[in-house]
């Protein structure tokens, strides 16, 4: 199984591809220096298999590598950050 998380700026979302098929996405909007994550959705066929966590980890890692901050408006991403405090410093205003 291959898992890839990539930014799709044309669609304003990070996507998770599992074996080259779209398994889910997290939509966002950009403000200066910040990525506001607004919604996360995982295909029902991939729920309960770690796809959501892989998507959250991948998007937060990419935001960090770009030197940006995150505003986790999506409850799933906010909960992921709470469970993984290594990402807490990425939260804008946090």
pTM for this structure?
0.95
The predicted-structure confidence for 39-57, as pLDDT tens digits, reads as follows 999 999 999 999 999 999 9
Number of alpha carbons in the 13 Å side-chain half-sphere of residue 63:
31
The candidate with the shortest Cα–Cα distance to 58, out of 34, 91, 87, is 87
Does the pLDDT value for residue 22 go beyond 90?
A: yes
pLDDT higher at 22 or 93: 22
Query: What strands lie across the sheet with 13-18, from one edge to the other?
Result: 3-8, 13-18, 21-31, 34-42, 69-72
> Which of helix, strand or coil describes residue 46?
helix
């Amino acid at each position: 199984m291959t898992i890839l998380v990539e930014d799709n700026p044309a669609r304003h979302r990070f996507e998770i591809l599992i074996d080259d098929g779209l398994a889910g996405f997290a939509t966002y909007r950009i403000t200066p220096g910040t990525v506001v994550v607004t919604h996360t959705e995982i295909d029902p066929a991939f729920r309960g298999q770690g796809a959501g966590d892989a998507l959250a980890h991948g998007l937060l890692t990419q935001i960090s590598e770009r030197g940006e901050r995150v505003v986790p408006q999506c409850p799933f991403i906010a909960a992921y950050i709470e469970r993984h405090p290594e990402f807490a410093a990425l939260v804008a205003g946090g």
